[in-house]
Amino acid sequence: MKITYYGHSCFLIETNGKKILFDPFISPNELAKGKVDVGSIECDYIAVSHAHNDHIADLESIAKRTQATIICAYELYEYFSKKGLEKFRPMNTGGKWSTDFGTVKCVSAIHSSCLPDGTYGANPMGFVFNTYEGDFYYSGDTALTLDMQLIPRWADLKFAVLPIGDNFTMDIDDAIEAANFVQCKKVIGVHYDTFGYIVIDHQQAKEKFAAKGIELILVPIGESIEIN
Ligand code: NI
Ligand code: MN
């Protein structure tokens, strides 16, 4: 699987010829300026964890241009259909959907969710993917939660994408515990450095994970890695 990082919690997974984009927030992100061209991102699916602007800022423009299918909470489907977007898989926590990349299951996340104009944004979610090339988990914005211990029942994770920036989500120590809960030794860190509240020390973060036998990967913005 190829993973490309676009900054904050936005990344693209390419698996079995399908491209799945997560939480598009690029054009307002100062750290992504000059590194990512929003207008050239191609994708077949866009998975949206929750309604906060730092996860949906570029959703409309990318979805309109690519005609990607948006995987999101039912209430976000209602909201974005009124904005003229057409292709959706509306879901809710606990549900799963099997399609051409494999299966995606929506799992709980402990956070809040509200659209920028105040519209109710439904429950925030994480996603467990079972693809033909392996399983992965994206927690979305969340606190550490015991619910994560259920995830090994549904997936044998190759990697987990977890927020590590603290303040709005888990910090590094809680993300290490989350990796233990989901039984995964490879973590891609997201939701750090974008704002002053969530700036982290990269070296210290990697050392803390390594001390617990877990690899923390911090992909430079605009770059890709391969996980086999
Ligand atoms: Ni959020
Ligand atoms: Mn966020």
Q: Which positions ≥6 away from 53 have C-beta within 8 Å?
A: 25, 28, 116
Question: Does 165 reside within a domain?
Answer: yes
Q: What is the pLDDT of residues 66-122, one digit of tens each?
A: 999 999 999 999 999 999 999 999 999 999 999 999 999 999 999 999 999 999 999
Dihedral sign from CA coordinates of 139, 147, 111, 107: positive
- Domain membership of residue 227 (yes or no) is no
Q: Measure 15 CA to ligand 1 centroid, in angstroms.
A: 26
For residue 226, tell me if it sits in a domain: no
Question: How far is ligand 2, taken at its centre, from the CA of residue 191, in Å?
Answer: 7
Share of the chain above pLDDT 90, in %: 100
Asked if residue 228 is part of any domain, the answer here is no
On whether residue 224 sits in a domain, the answer given is no
Domains: count for the chain: 1
- Which residues are close to ligand 1, an ion, with C-beta < 5 A? 52, 141
Q: How far is the CA of 97 from the centre of ligand 1 (A)?
A: 24
Q: Containing domain of residue 103, as a range?
A: 2-218
Summarised one tens digit per residue, pLDDT across range 117-141 is 999 999 999 999 999 999 999 999 9
Report the separation in Å between the CA atom of 7 and the middle of ligand 1, taken as the mean of its atom positions.
Answer: 15
This prediction's pTM: 0.98
For residue 54, the CA-to-ligand 1 centroid distance in Å is: 7
Asked, for residue 59, whether it belongs to a domain, the answer is yes
Q: Is residue 52 part of a domain?
A: yes
Residue 14 lies in a domain: yes
The values of phi and psi at residue 211, to 5°, are -65, -20
The CATH number assigned to the domain holding 65 equals 3.60.15.10
Residue 139: what pLDDT?
Answer: 99
- Separation of CA 110 and ligand 2 centre (Å): 12
